[in-house]
Structure 1
């Protein structure tokens, strides 16, 4: 069974666009904002004050916590929790069962469930996070970065960087189209073998699209 369209009455009394589709087994707490064309699949929970953009795909068993902001055209695969303090920009991909955190030093007997205790995580436009990867809170993942499956991200990731391993380390660069780029030296130029986009390596941590 596919997600059902939002009723006109619901759309008028909430921030849910009438073109959004939400499966009947999912919960959406109000108030929240869900953009046009977004689909939310089975057994998911969108909590209050969260914002989801247009044309997103939210898979099964996904939890989106209060005050989370998700951009347009984001894909979140099954079994992912997007906790308070996490922001996903446009075109981000979150693979199945990947993990975000929002408290760096949790203790069961010491409450740290307040906004002051959360460390913010930002995933920038077009970044991809592979299945079963873990993103430790307080990090920024750059534009079109690529996080390999099972990686444990403990520090910021540059734009277009390819990282994997535990802890995650950089092993190269990725094109906007998702193909791995060839080796390139600082001040050098490299072109994608798939789409021919060009890039210049400014320094060890800065790859820029060629003008």
Structure 2
């Protein structure tokens, strides 16, 4: 089991400095740069995606939000998506499959929302603890349930992303390792299976980035 999971944390170092986490910066190399006077197709697609995300996040946050709030969540989505995709390439460290990265993004976000909400909109935050239409007999239980669900939010955000990334990569690793002991007639089936899994993982990479950013947006909309 140690050897199996070591593929998620390879020992790459230079002058005793771990190079694993430099994979986080690889996405910066392939972000479309505005090199042309006439925008290229990539630029048009990039701008269209950003505009679509902005409109969606703006609707979720509401009109009371500060100007430019959506840029935080768009940046979060792009960073997560690039890191998820980079992990699908061979010999590139998948940073988003580690709780160190996911919890260090989810926890400060959640903490900042909670601090802002409780300091500036205390009554509004108290009303969120009891959903509308709750019978008086269940109110005390609902406060406890809502408080617990609120506290575990950063944990669920972080675990969801890391678990989804690890699950697909683990499956790809397990299938890839069986190739050496397989018969030649089964190799083609294995390759087709691996290709289908890679397509699925590409979809998961986008979906998980979207889920992470959309849930962060929804959590922030509750504090206004």
Output the TM-score relative to the length of structure 1. 0.22
- Relative contact order, higher structure (CA 8 A, sep 6+): 2
* More strand as a share of residues: 1
Output the TM-score relative to the length of structure 2. 0.21
| Greater C-alpha Rg | 2
